[in-house]
């Protein structure tokens, strides 16, 4: 079996990779487990040094790695450079903070000494998507290695070059052999990997359906999971919002990674008194976004990652229009080669339409009218997803109250686009998953939170 890397901008095959056999996969997992037996004893100073080294390598290779992303999944190269910068930052963040996060926590009891100790658990399987082929992996990998764990990666089958490059970077940074390895396998082989007794936990970023399957299998084996799944983030624009600023932020968020981001803004819930003005501003800013070659530094929107994904997005747009949505911009398949899709705006979006009920994974914005503030909050929460949300208002106190207590999502922002940050926990609720990555909470997901109780001698 081959795993094939295809350039979505022109449909040409970049390279074919021979998939690992089941025997090879089992051997690699055993190698990584054996590496963990030593790595778990490494000092925080050694982990800090190697994570810092990895951050430096990422920075030195960022142009090359950004070009690789552009070729394999169509990310505009400037966005790819920013992604590698972020990967370096998460490595440096845990290099700096992991020792503190993992230090013993003394708890007073009737013991002579009692405390909580954070111990590594072993090999973690990471199942990762193509849309942020480096960041998604490093936001798992940096805290995993910092905690004394090891990892194996099942990456998306359309970015094998990125997967192999990550393994090379870990090796180049000076980490011991086999603490991290890439498995070139199909999705059909994942169940057998989860079954492997050396796999202690699983983290997945992907669709809700994929998350359900992984959680079900891992749960049957009492193996912990962290799920970061789909999202249909609502951005609420209130009557007193700075509409110019809101429109700029909303368009930029919708266009992250050519619209292919779990936490990109997808539903824009606008109070009716400002809907007309907001749409006008939004439309002009969307029109200004340039679709083109992802290797061109002036490109805002590259191709979608695969033609089949682009076609599925178009079906959702057409069905929404058929059900009564109005297409103000885009919404047509471009001629020529490649998986391109134009910046698209749908208005008059209502329940029962894909643009309202489903995740649109591409450069398509759904604008939904709300009668007032309370209705806007209701609509924002009227979703099976709960990854991120944002609210726009000049009243920051009210915005904070809405973000902290009213919007149902794992990350809620005020007058800003939703984004992940190494310093803050990241994850969702409802069908967007459970568990957290990044920050203090992320490094504690895959450790044994151990109680130590020392009685009197």
Distance of CA 49 to the CA centre of its chain: 26
Q: Which DSSP string do the residues of 20-83 spell out, in sequence order?
A: PPHHHHHHHHHHHHHHHHHHTT--HHHHHHHHHHHHHHHHHTHHHHHHHHHHHH---HHHHHHH
- Alpha helix (H) residue ranges in 339-423: 354-357, 373-381, 396-401
* 156 φ/ψ sector (left φ>0, alpha ψ -120 to 50, else beta): beta
Could you tell me the two tokens for 163? 């997967």
Which of these is catalytic: 162, 250, 262, 412?
A: 262
* 61 φ/ψ sector (left φ>0, alpha ψ -120 to 50, else beta): alpha
Cβ within 8 Å of residue 421, ≥6 positions away: 438
For 119, 128, 183, 254, 343, the CA distances from 136, given in Å and listed in that order, are 24, 7, 16, 19, 25
Q: DSSP secondary-structure letter at 297?
A: T
Is the torsion defined by CA of 363, 364, 367, 373 positive or negative?
negative
**C-alpha distance across the termini of the chain, in Å:** 62
Cβ within 8 Å of residue 167, ≥6 positions away: 153, 180, 181, 182
Which of these is catalytic: 228, 275, 359, 445?
A: 228
Contact 154, 193 (CB under 8 A): yes
Residue 370, H or E segment: strand 364-370
Q: What is the dihedral of CA 322, 325, 330, 331, to 10 degrees?
A: -30
Q: DSSP secondary-structure letter at 403?
A: I
- By the 10 Å C-beta count (0-12 exposed, 13-18 middle, 19+ buried), 398 is classed as middle
Query: From CA 200, how far away is CA 222, in angstroms rounded?
Result: 9
Q: DSSP secondary-structure letter at 402?
A: I
Catalytic residue check, 277: no
Residue 136, H or E segment: helix 135-146
Catalytic residue check, 262: yes
* Residues with active-site annotation: 228, 262
């Amino acid at each position: 079996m081959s795993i094939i890397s295809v350039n979505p901008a022109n449909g040409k095959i970049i390279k074919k990779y021979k998939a690992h056999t089941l025997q090879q996969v089992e051997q690699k997992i055993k190698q990584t487990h054996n590496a963990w037996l030593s790595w778990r004893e490494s000092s925080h100073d050694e982990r800090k040094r190697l994570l810092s080294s990895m951050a430096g390598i990422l920075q030195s290779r960022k142009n090359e790695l950004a070009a690789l992303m552009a070729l394999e999944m169509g990310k505009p190269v400037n966005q790819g450079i920013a992604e590698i910068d972020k990967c370096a930052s998460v490595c440096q963040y845990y290099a700096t903070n992991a020792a503190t996060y993992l230090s013993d926590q003394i708890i007073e009891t009737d013991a002579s000494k009692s405390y909580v100790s954070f111990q590594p658990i072993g090999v973690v399987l990471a199942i990762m998507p193509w849309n942020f082929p480096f960041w998604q992996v490093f936001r798992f990998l940096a805290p995993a290695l910092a905690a004394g764990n090891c990892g194996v990666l099942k990456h998306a089958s359309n970015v094998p070059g990125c997967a192999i490059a990550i393994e090379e970077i870990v090796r180049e940074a000076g980490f011991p052999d086999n603490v991290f390895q890439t498995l070139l396998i199909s999705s059909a082989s994942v169940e057998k990997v989860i079954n492997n007794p050396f796999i202690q936990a699983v983290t997945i970023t992907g669709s809700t359906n994929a998350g359900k399957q992984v959680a079900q299998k891992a749960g049957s084996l009492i193996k912990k999971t962290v799920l970061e799944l789909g999202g249909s983030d609502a951005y609420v624009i209130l009557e007193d919002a700075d509409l110019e600023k809101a429109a700029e932020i909303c368009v930029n968020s919708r266009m992250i990674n050519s619209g292919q981001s779990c936490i990109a803004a997808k539903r824009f819930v606008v109070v009716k008194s400002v809907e007309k003005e907001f749409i006008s501003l939004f439309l002009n800013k969307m029109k200004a976004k340039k679709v083109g070659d992802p290797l061109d530094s002036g490109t805002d929107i590259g191709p979608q990652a695969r033609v089949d994904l682009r076609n599925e997005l178009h079906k959702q747009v057409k069905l929404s229009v058929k059900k009564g949505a109005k297409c103000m911009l885009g919404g047509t398949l471009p001629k020529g080669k490649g998986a391109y899709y134009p910046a698209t705006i749908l208005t008059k979006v209502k329940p029962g339409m894909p643009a309202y009920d489903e995740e649109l994974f591409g450069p398509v914005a759904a604008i939904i009218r709300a009668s007032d503030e309370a209705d806007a909050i209701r609509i924002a929460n009227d979703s099976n997803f709960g990854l991120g949300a944002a609210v726009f208002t000049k009243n920051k106190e009210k915005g904070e109250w809405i973000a902290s207590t009213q919007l149902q999502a794992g990350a809620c922002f005020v007058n800003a686009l939703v984004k992940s940050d190494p310093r803050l926990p990241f994850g969702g609720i409802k069908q967007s998953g459970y568990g957290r990555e990044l920050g203090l909470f992320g490094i504690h997901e895959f450790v044994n939170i151990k109680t130590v109780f020392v009685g009197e001698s």
